[in-house]
Amino acid sequence: MRRKLSKIPNYIGLALFALFALIPFQYMLATAMTPLSYSMPYPPILVPESLYFGNFVEAWNANHFSQYFLNSLIVAAIATVIIMLVSSAGAYAFARMQFPGREFVFYLYLFTMMVPTVTNLIPQFLLMKDLKLVDTYLGLLLIYIGIGVPSNTFFLRNFFLGLPKELEEAVIIDGGNHWQIYWRIVLPLSKPALGTFAILAYSNVWDEFLIALTMIKTPDKRTLPIALRLFQGQNLNNWGLIFAASLIAVLPILIIYIVMQKKLIRGGAMDGMLKG
Amino acid sequence: MASSKRKFMIGCQQWLKALPFLIFGFVLMAMFILYPLIRNIYISFTDFNVIKNEVTEFVGAKNYLDLLKDKNYLIAFRNTLLYALVTVPGQMFFGLILASLVNSVRKGQTFFKVVCYLPVITSWVVVSLVFKYLFMSGKGGLINYALMQLHLIRQPIAWLQSEWTANVVLWLFGIWKGVGWVMIIYLAALQGVPSEVYEASEIDGAGAVRRFFSMTLPMVRNTTNYLLTVLTIGAFGAYIHVMMITEGAPLGTTNELMNYMYNTAFSTYNIGSAAAQAVLMGVIVLILTMIQRRVSQDQMN
């Protein structure tokens, strides 16, 4: 009994941390559920007066917001699938094949992982200009994939190295080749890891801001983060609308996170990819 | 002679087999990371004309030397250093306390982990918007309201309208956003410590505070070093919060390196200077990474 009681201060501390983490979200939600008023409400509203969803409806319908949502959904999905395919194939070569210079090429991958994304922005933009791919999804996707491949190759290689080799040897005895091992054995065995990395890659692309802001010019092609920024510019004091739009934008990631929280937290702890 | 030729042939065959697996990833990586990296270094020594989309003149180290004289760049540098100096220890301090608390309880552990990790997974853009709203000037802003209710301030503060209060908002943002991530990393380290160690010290009658300093801290030293570097690199590269909350206002006094670089490139179109800024950032990150490698190697030996 004494032991249990002695934990009370710890729970008070935890509750304080949780409160600080949650208040901004609660404030956002309460504001999104409050009809427009042109001056800041006083006192600030932390509990909405009624269940009002007008802002959500308006945000969804206003300014092509649903279009941007769809854009982000598609861009992130395509990028994720290709990143996972390309990375897992490369990771397989690094983990299971012998070839001269393997270490050197692998170190190149490691080196590119250290290059901060932002520092390459200008030459990437110029390259896209040369290729006439500015303002196209192809250009945007190529950069997202190029950036996503090294780290995912690295982590998948580490995962593949930990897989037992016995099953693969059986395939080789049956006269199978590397493609069969990769496709029939390694990929199915790696489903949990692939899933985790895919989710991380997806949320990275979903939230990506600067590259999309630089590459995409046509309003119709915008992805959600840029749309949100411009949305805020257009609706300066209409915070209810802005936060309704924001909540719609974070919803997919929140849902994935809460459903998959165990795996994701571990995945995030491994490499901090979610740190953005 | 014959054997080296044979070796070469085997090498070629091995490459032929590996190439289909490697080629796509390698080409993408080379095109969109390695090549831009080299081109960026080249551009940093030139004058680049955006409209013609070409290098007009080789200017040597001029872009770099100009930066040393650019008052706004130096302010951005100072702000980035301060941001790192405040937010890195801040995140680690609160992150470690939070991790110890989470580790000390059984019931509700998952709940607190999930809740405190929410800021980490939420988009930087959205969180920045919330912070802008939290720190609204006038008595209706939640932070002003809370501080006035607690009688800590008499008049509402116009947080984003003056240099230091605006920087404080950016710092608080950085700490709030990162604590959950630090907690997860520390938690992994703490859970590697057998609980008997704690129980033994509890029986010894060591107080919680003393236990924290004499046992917990030394045991997570490796993690602390790792976090120190990763968080510092993160702090140097951060920009979205500045773009969304202050946009450098008032008068560029809250700019940080990366958003200043972005503005140099895409608002004033001084591509050469922006490339030089990018190279400097790359060098800083490289040095930090090498320090981390060295430290973690020392620890292994």
In chain B, % of residues over pLDDT 90 = 52
Question: CA-nearest residue of chain B to A269?
Answer: B185
Contacts 24+ apart (CB under 8 A), B63-68: B63/B272, B63/B273, B63/B275, B63/B276, B64/B276, B64/B280, B66/B273, B67/B273, B67/B276, B67/B277, B67/B280
Amino acid at A162: G
Among B133, B199, B283, the residue to mutate for chain A (most A Cβ within 10 A): B133
Written as one string, the DSSP assignment of B222-263 is HHHHHHHHHHHHHHHH--HHIIIIITT-STTTT--HHHHHHH
Instruction: Give the up-direction half-sphere exposure of residue B154: CA atoms within 13 A in the CB hemisphere.
Output: 0
In chain B, % of residues over pLDDT 70 = 95
pTM for the structure as a whole: 0.88
Residue A7: pLDDT band (50, 70, 90) is confident
Cβ atoms < 10 Å from Cβ of A43: 13
Among A68, A99, A270, the residue to mutate for chain B (most B Cβ within 10 A): A99
pLDDT in tens, B56-101: 888 888 999 999 999 999 999 999 999 999 999 999 999 999 999 9
Would you say residue B253 has pLDDT above 70?
yes
Question: Does the ipTM surpass 0.85?
Answer: yes
Task: Give me the mean pLDDT over the B44-59 stretch.
Answer: 85
pLDDT in tens, A45-103: 888 888 888 889 988 887 788 899 999 999 999 999 999 999 999 999 999 999 999 99
Cα of A252 vs its chain's centroid, Å? 10
Interface subset of B 141-160, CB within 8 angstroms of A: 141-142, 145
Q: What is the pLDDT of residue B7?
A: 87
CA-CA distances (angstroms) from residue B240 to A114, A269, B181?
20, 22, 18
Q: In this complex, do B133 and A31 lie within 8 Å of one another by their Cβ atoms?
A: yes
Q: Residue A222: is it exposed, middle or buried by C-beta count within 10 angstroms (0-12/13-18/19+)? A: buried
| Structure-block tokens of residue B129 | 């918007």
pLDDT in tens, A103-136: 999 999 988 887 777 889 999 999 999 999 999 9
Cβ atoms < 10 Å from Cβ of A155: 21
Q: Is B262 on the interface with A (CB under 8 A)?
A: yes
Q: Which CATH superfamily is domain B70-300 in?
A: MetI-like (1.10.3720.10)
Kindly report the nearest CA distance between residue B77 and chain A, in angstroms.
Answer: 15
Locate the domains of chain A by residue range.
Answer: 55-275
Query: Domain A55-275 falls in which CATH fold?
Result: MetI-like fold (1.10.3720)
Among A3, A11, A14, the residue to mutate for chain B (most B Cβ within 10 A): A14
Q: Is B175 on the interface with A (CB under 8 A)?
A: no
Q: How far apart are CA A79 and CA A208, in angstroms?
A: 12
Amino acid at B11: G
Q: In this complex, do A178 and B21 lie within 8 Å of one another by their Cβ atoms?
A: yes
Locate the domains of chain B by residue range.
Answer: 2-62, 70-300
3-state secondary structure of A98: coil
Strongest mean pLDDT among A218-222, B158-162, B167-171, B267-271: B167-171
Residue A273: pLDDT band (50, 70, 90) is very low
Task: Give me the mean pLDDT over the B223-248 stretch.
Answer: 90
Contact A192, A263 (CB under 8 A): yes
Q: How far apart are CA A57 and CA A247, in angstroms?
A: 12
